[in-house]
Structure 1
Amino acid sequence: MRNKYLTQLIKAAVLISSVILLQACSSTRLQVQPDPMFAPVDLKQSRFQPVNNGSIFQQGRSVRLFEDSKAFRVGDLLSISLSESTNATKSAATNTAKDDDVTLGAGTFLGVSPTYKGNALMDNALTAERAFKGSGDTAQSNSLKGEITVMVSDILPNGNLVVRGEKIIGLNQGSEFIRITGIVRPQDVSSNNEVTSGKLANSRIYYGGGGVIAEANTKGWLSRFFSSPVFPF
């Protein structure tokens, strides 16, 4: 009996040690993985094939003398200066109340009003009160500044550039990422091949992270349940 108990204790210790080691390994690896939706364009599979029209001069790789070196082809790189700032406030208040009073006068039975200890038995009153009061306020402010280099993934028929890209930064206790996609007009690209994020049409900008800091700022599942509309109280 004692040997059986000792064996179970050893198994439990080995299991706990394995879980701790796996947790330690998982905390050291990159918490955020690359998203295929923002991956660089595979130029080998691009529908734009290079044109060989000369042994020395290649038209597709030419550098124009009177134009800036700006992105204008699929696979070209473009720098985006992130300058996003949003502020939003919202408040709501609800206050409702309803009172009901019903009074029944003293009744008679065979012409006599029945009483008990001086109180009329058929003299009744009903009172009901209902009230609800709720209020809520919310304020949100966001600011994102930085710079990210993206790649031209497509060219629209009107010449606008579809760009996409991501940046992942591995930190000591986690990792951060910036993902962006949108449409850029070539006219909005500066001479040093940069454009501000405010010039992106149909832009999608994602900023987030993972790791110890992100987990510390996330509610547990039980806390989320008590704060959710499913909680009946």
Structure 2
Amino acid sequence: MSPFRKTRSFAALLLIGSALAGCNAASRLSQVGMQPPLTTIQNPTALPNYQPVALPMPAPITEERQANSLWRQGSRAFFKDQRASQIGDILTVVINIEDEAKLNNRTSRSRDAAEGASLPALLGLESTLEKVLPGDADASNLVEAESDSSSSGAGAVNREEDINLRVAALITQVLPNGNLVLSGRQEVRVNYEVRELFVAGVIRPADITSTNTVPYDKIAEARISYGGRGHISDVQQPRYGQQVFDIIFPF
């Protein structure tokens, strides 16, 4: 290979590597020796991927007010309900996940097949097979096929998770039936590692306790994410070249 073609191939490899690395590699290089930055506080409804929740709503019901009544419907306090109920109110989401799953699966399969075909007579033309087919052609043993295949597989899953967290969330939307849409994000940086917690979903006002908390299993369409970014998370991830190789390698 000529030096020019070698140089061009090397430049192409560098270009491909740069494209695969993307902006992530550039941002990581700019933060060498620095702590991972925390993101600024933002309005959840102003984020690029934010979309208002639209769910099927029941027919509106007119609230009946009782004359001379000191109590409001759904109130848990004599003077005022302290629970979150309006856009911008804050409540605490209690996440207590104890999940355990065990699964064993085994499959096996085997198959044998054989086929044969002969042509002893064909209008007297069977003797001309030697002229049509190369070599010694035998009409009594014209076609023969055999196949043998077998496969076996085994899989096992043994998972156990225990997560106990509390995160403050913000009411971002009040649906027509009174249900509340919440969104909460928490970031904690310890040395060079940032732990991120995100929770979102739809809750009923009646499921909010008197201490202004709601358990995670009362959240409909719940989206809970707990992870991190930083030096430890970076070491635990395979290099981008290995990830690309695992995707495109067919074997």
TM range (shorter): 0.5 to 0.7
2:180 to 132, 145, 161: 161
Contact map agreement 1:85 1:144 (CA 8 A) in 2: yes
For residues 1-233 of structure 1, what are the structure 2 equivalents within 5 Å? 23=29, 25-26=31-32, 28-30=34-36, 33=39, 38=44, 66-100=79-113, 128-221=147-240, 223-224=242-243, 231-233=249-251
1:167-221 deviation line (CA, Å, top 9, x unaligned): 0111212111111111221111122211111111221111111112112222334
The unaligned stretches of length 5 or more in structure 1 are: 1-18, 42-63, 105-121
Contact map agreement 1:32 1:168 (CA 8 A) in 2: yes
Contact map agreement 1:89 1:139 (CA 8 A) in 2: yes
How many residues of Structure 1 are paired with residues of Structure 2 in the alignment? 177
Contact map agreement 2:181 2:203 (CA 8 A) in 1: yes
Name the CA distance, whole Å, in 2 between partners of 1:222 and 1:139.
30
More strand per residue: 1 or 2? 1
Which amino acid is 1:216 matched to?
V
> TM-score, normalised to structure 2's length?
0.56
- Provide closer, same or farther for how the CA distance between residues 178 and 133 of structure 1 changes in structure 2, counting only shifts above 3 A: same
- Provide closer, same or farther for how the CA distance between residues 182 and 159 of structure 1 changes in structure 2, counting only shifts above 3 A: same
Q: Secondary structure at the match of 1:215?
A: helix
Q: How far did 1:27 drift?
A: 5.1
- Provide closer, same or farther for how the CA distance between residues 88 and 32 of structure 1 changes in structure 2, counting only shifts above 3 A: farther
Q: How far did 1:232 drift?
A: 4.0
Contact map agreement 2:181 2:201 (CA 8 A) in 1: yes
Q: How far did 1:126 drift?
A: 7.9
Contact map agreement 2:35 2:192 (CA 8 A) in 1: no
Contact map agreement 1:78 1:151 (CA 8 A) in 2: yes
Q: Secondary structure at the match of 2:31?
A: helix
- Provide closer, same or farther for how the CA distance between residues 178 and 227 of structure 1 changes in structure 2, counting only shifts above 3 A: same
Give the structure 2 partner of residue 118 of structure 1. Answer: none
Q: How far did 1:141 drift?
A: 2.7
The unaligned stretches of length 5 or more in structure 2 are: 1-24, 48-76, 118-137
- Provide closer, same or farther for how the CA distance between residues 101 and 208 of structure 1 changes in structure 2, counting only shifts above 3 A: same
Percent identity between matched residues is 24
Q: Secondary structure at the match of 1:198?
A: helix
- Provide closer, same or farther for how the CA distance between residues 131 and 34 of structure 1 changes in structure 2, counting only shifts above 3 A: farther
- Provide closer, same or farther for how the CA distance between residues 92 and 221 of structure 1 changes in structure 2, counting only shifts above 3 A: farther
Contact map agreement 1:27 1:211 (CA 8 A) in 2: no
> TM-score, normalised to structure 1's length?
0.60
